[in-house]
Amino acid sequence: MNFSELKLHEKLLEAISYIGFETATPIQEQVIPLILQNKDVIACAQTGTGKTAAFVLPILDKLVGKKEHSIDTLIIVPTRELAIQIDQQIQGFSYFIPAGSIAVYGGGDGKDWEAQKSALKKGTDIIVATPGKLLSHLNMGYIDFKNLKHLVLDEADKMLDMGFVDDIHAIISHLPKVRQTLMFSATMPLSIRTLAKKVLHNPSEISLSISKPAEGADQKAYLVFEEQKIDLIIKILKERKQYDSVLIFTSVKNKITDIVRSLNRQGFPSHGISSNLEQDKREEVVNSFRSKKIRILVATDVMSRGIDVKEINMVINYDVPHDADDYVHRVGRTARINAKGEAITLVTPREKYKIKKIEQLIESVIPKIEAPADLGKLPSWEEKDGGAVKKKKFQPKKKTGNNDKQSAVKE
């Protein structure tokens, strides 16, 4: 479906065309009309499906012609990286529309605080904020939400995982009861549904590709010992010299320095990014990675939802994420919006059970590739330690009941 068919304002369509968007993604096609009809929405879609534009575009459409200075929309997100990313997209889409926005997050200096305070007091149209920093401003008593029309909870599952549920309820207590509320999440556990019942009114529900990597992601896993991981990554990088954008994830930020140092020593210039970096430095690194000035970036899971970079050729999981859902978010950094990409996971014998959990979540088998023999003695997938993966197709668990049907096996 072309964006023109969604009946958006012509100035928005002009900005969309200028950015280079042509057709709406499935989540945009289904969600935009609902938001334009002022319905509450709970939408579940994987990373990289274009869900930010799905809520930003119809909200901007409603802002056309707005004259009063007041906060119209509050978008709550789990990380500063995501806040910056969404704010940048709003600025791009609103190029021909007089709508203002600001990202409110921690980690800055006094000037950042004053800039945020000024925008909140003035009544900037759209506020994109992390819960903790917004509450700090709210507690000062100068934010007026009485004219707020839209509340968006983005990456709701991640916010709950990070323990923000009380902060979210505290923020909502300051908002008008009559408003349009939109909730977006990559997964839909019971905790999200419980939250949705409390903050949404008779919502329309959209679910697309729940907890599954994009079809364009070529997934594979190697079984190695911990000390063999760097050597294997070096071999992989040598075989893929044509890749100009590689993202390496580790679950432990303390490993980032060691990984970066090892890659640099082997002639592969790399940079690391984690919460240890000052905010301006983190933005500098992300922008350099986005512009291809940095080819290889090593990051933690926090960045798996905050890096909006097109055409990442390959994601390497230096270790298997603790939560199966995080695997989907990591892999979702490549093969975004119908593109192709490669996702490689390095697995130690102790991590094999995590791969099984991931396969159960995504309802498909991750191909197991034999690591190069010159790495030395290698562990075996057939050994029983850690829950070995046998040479058979993954079979989803059967539901109980007389009319149950076996779920289809996806290869």
Tens of pLDDT, residues 302-327: 665 556 677 789 999 999 988 787 78
Q: Could you read off the pLDDT of 180-190 as tens digits, one per residue?
A: 999 998 777 78
Q: Do 168 and 89 sit in the same domain of this protein?
A: yes
Which residue(s) pair with 73 in the sheet? 126, 150
* pLDDT (0 to 100) of residue 308: 64
- How many whole angstroms separate alpha carbon 267 and alpha carbon 213? 31
pLDDT in tens, 237-257: 999 999 999 999 998 888 999
Residue 409 has pLDDT above 90, yes or no: no
End-of-domain residue from the set 182, 208, 234:
208
**Comparison of pLDDT for 98 and 170, the residue scoring more:** 170
Q: What is the reported pTM? A: 0.66
Is 249 domain-assigned? yes
pLDDT for the residue 384:
64
Query: Is 256 part of any domain?
Result: yes
Q: Tokens for 222?
A: 């190697």
Do 23 and 171 reside in the same domain of the chain? yes
User: Do 204 and 242 share a domain, yes or no?
Assistant: no
Look at residue 20 and tell me whether its pLDDT is greater than 80. Answer: no
| pLDDT > 70 in the chain, percent | 87
Q: What percent of the chain has pLDDT over 90?
A: 58
pLDDT in tens, 160-169: 988 999 999 9
Q: What is the mean pLDDT of residues 177-181?
A: 97
Q: 322: domain CATH number?
A: 3.40.50.300
Q: For position 339, what pLDDT does the model report?
A: 66
Is there a single domain that holds both residue 246 and residue 337? yes
Instruction: Name the nearest CA neighbour of 47 among 205, 185, 249.
Output: 185
Pair 254, 196 in one domain: no
* Residues 6+ positions from 170 with CB-CB distance below 8 Å: 135, 138
Mean pLDDT of the 388-392 span: 40
Let me know whether 124 and 235 are in one domain.
no
Instruction: Give the count of domains, the chain.
Output: 2
pLDDT (0 to 100) of residue 305: 58
Of the candidates 406, 342, 28, the residue with the CA atom closest to the CA atom of residue 184 = 28
- Among 145-149, 294-298, 308-312, 393-397, the least confident range: 393-397
Residue 394 maps to a domain: no
- In this prediction, residue 282 carries a pLDDT of 80
What CA–CA distance (Å, rounded) separates 78 from 395? 34
Asked if residue 235 and residue 160 are part of one domain, the reply reads no
Residue 144 confidence class, pLDDT cut points 50, 70, 90:
very high
More confident residue, 6 or 324: 6
The answer on pLDDT for 410 being more than 50 is no
Residue 386 predicted with pLDDT over 70: no
Q: What is the mean pLDDT of residues 154-165?
A: 90
65: left (phi over 0), alpha (psi -120 to 50) or beta: left
Least confident span in 12-21, 274-283, 393-402: 393-402
Supply the pLDDT for residue 211: 57
Give dist(CA 286, CA 147) in Å, integer.
35
Quote the mean pLDDT of the chain: 86
- Inside any domain, residue 204: yes
52 vs 392 pLDDT, higher one: 52
- The boundaries of the domain holding residue 349 are 217-375
Among 208, 243, 274, identify where a domain stops.
208
Residues 178 and 74 in one domain: yes
For residue 100, the surrounding DSSP H or E stretch is none
Q: Does the residue 382 lie in any domain?
A: no
Question: Which pLDDT does position 408 carry in this prediction?
Answer: 33
| Residue 13 covered by a domain | yes
Summarised one tens digit per residue, pLDDT across range 245-291 is: 999 999 888 899 999 999 999 999 999 987 777 777 887 888 899 88
Query: How far is the C-alpha of 117 from the C-alpha of 132, rounded, in Å?
Result: 14
Domain boundary among 154, 181, 208: 208
| Same domain as 12, residue 120 | yes
Does 235 lie in the same domain as 194? no
Pairing of strands 41-45, 204-208: parallel
Provide the pLDDT for residue 402.
Answer: 41
pLDDT tens digits for range 79-132 = 888 899 899 999 999 989 989 999 999 877 788 899 999 999 999 999 999 999
Per-residue pLDDT at 306: 57
- Residues 245, 351, single domain; the answer is yes
The pLDDT tens digits of the residues spanning 200-243 come to 999 999 987 555 676 778 999 999 999 999 999 999 999 999 99
- Confirm whether 335 is domain-assigned: yes
